[in-house]
Chain A
Amino acid sequence: MTQYPLLWQILMIGCIVLWATAGDVLIASAMRNIGDLDRIRAVKGIPGAAAAVLGSPRFGLGVLCMSLSFFSMLFALSHGDLTLIGPAAASLTFVTNAIAAKFFLGENVDRRRWLAAVFVCIGVALLAH
């Protein structure tokens, strides 16, 4: 196995986090645009709810980004340090999602939510020890 230098591993972590954040934000945006799935299911049934989700181009793009994140993770894990890449990618995604949700989804990320994202980020990183 080729062990890449730290700079390359950081770049690989950046790729994983970038695609995962893009995927989460696109999927969240698609679901927000579609509306409450419970109410859609009550009106149009499960096939109607499934059609609403699968018919959304933004949802498809989100799934594509999540797939790219998954394959970036596989590539990184096969060439890098598992104990660095796994926890770093998992924990950083919480913070980047909070930033992206504020700017791209227009969510009101108040101090409480920033604290939650940072605490969970630190907690997930600590679980790897």
Chain B
Amino acid sequence: MNQSKLTAGQMLNLAVVTVTASCGDTFLARGMKSVGPVSIHHLGELIHAVLTPWVGAGIVVLIGFFASYLTALSWADLTYVLPATSIGYVIMELLGHFWLREYVSPWRWLGIVFITAGVGFVARGPSYTHTHQSEPEQQQIEEGQHA
């Protein structure tokens, strides 16, 4: 197994994946609550929803999430990125409890413990392992640059 360790920039990228996923979903939820239910017969209301500040901000943040998620997958395994970034669920719960004063049931605290343990397991291992696939096209790009 390749014992790939993350650079500071890559760790920052994973943090961006975590934060943007949580914030993007929260912004969309906040925006759609103010828009109200959208009927399938009035889909034009969705365009109106996209133009509201919270939904628009949510979409922009989620585009940032997707870009950073793709970047993470280009140098780390899927089985590393998904559990490592699931700490976002924990951040959302803790924000809800300590900032919004929401009630967190004992089951949810147990869920936080499980997720944190899962993140701890994967974070202590390598981020990248060998695959059966061909070498990346990036080598061809770099070779083309030097030619």
Q: Which residues of A contact B (CB under 8 A)?
A: 24-25, 27-29, 31-40, 43-44, 48, 52-53, 94, 97-98, 101-102, 105-110, 112-113, 115-120, 122-127, 129
Interface size on B, as a range, is 35 or more
Give the residues in chain B near A29, CB-CB below 8 Å.
133
B133 touches A106 (CB 8 A): yes
Answer whether residue B112 sits at the interface, using C-beta atoms and an 8 A cutoff: yes
CB-nearest residue of chain B to A87: B111
Q: Which of B77, B89, B137 contacts A127 (CB 8 A)?
A: B89
12 of the cross-chain contacts (CB-CB < 8 Å) are A32-B73, A34-B138, A35-B74, A37-B70, A105-B78, A106-B132, A107-B131, A110-B1, A117-B118, A119-B118, A123-B86, A129-B105
Q: Which of B9, B93, B110 has the most A CB atoms < 10 Å from its CB? A: B110
Q: Which residues of B contact A (CB under 8 A)?
A: 1, 9-10, 70-71, 73-75, 77-80, 82-83, 86, 89, 93, 105, 107-108, 110-119, 121-122, 124-125, 129-134, 136-139, 141-142, 145
Known A-B contacts: A32-B74, A108-B129, A119-B83. Give 18 more (CB < 8 A): A29-B133, A33-B136, A34-B74, A37-B70, A37-B74, A43-B145, A101-B77, A112-B121, A117-B82, A119-B117, A120-B86, A120-B114, A120-B115, A123-B114, A126-B114, A127-B89, A127-B112, A127-B115
CA distance A34 to B113 in the complex (A): 36
CB-nearest residue of chain B to A102: B79
